[in-house]
């Protein structure tokens, strides 16, 4: 049986991964905010 919404891991990484986040200005702000909160920031 095939489940719905089976996105590939590569596509997911490219869209939401750490490097994708670092590419945008708001993404870098987001990571810095999480760092300030004391979170581990390796997204996905």
First to last CA, the chain: 26
Q: Per-residue pLDDT tens for 5-41?
A: 888 999 999 999 999 999 999 999 999 999 999 988 8
Sign of the Cα pseudo-torsion (13, 16, 20, 22, in order): negative
Q: Is 1 part of a structural domain of the chain? A: no
* Total domains present in the chain: 1
Q: Is 41 domain-assigned?
A: yes
pLDDT at 43 over 90: no
Q: Are 21 and 30 in contact (CB under 8 A)?
A: yes
Taking the C-alpha atoms of residue 14 and residue 37, their distance in angstroms, rounded to an integer, is 25
Q: Is residue 2 in some structural domain? A: no
Q: Decide if 28 is inside a domain.
A: yes
Give a yes or no: residue 37 inside a domain. yes
The two tokens of residue 37 are: 């909160």
> Is 34 inside a domain boundary?
yes
Residue 40 belongs to domain spanning? 10-44
Residue 26 lies in a domain: yes
CA atoms of 43 and 36, how far apart (whole Å): 15
Give the pLDDT of residue 2.
Answer: 73
């Amino acid at each position: 049986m095939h489940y719905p919404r089976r996105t590939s891991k590569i596509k997911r990484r490219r869209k939401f991964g750490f490097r994708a986040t670092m590419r945008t200005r708001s993404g870098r702000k987001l990571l810095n905010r999480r760092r300030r909160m004391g979170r581990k920031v390796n997204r996905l």
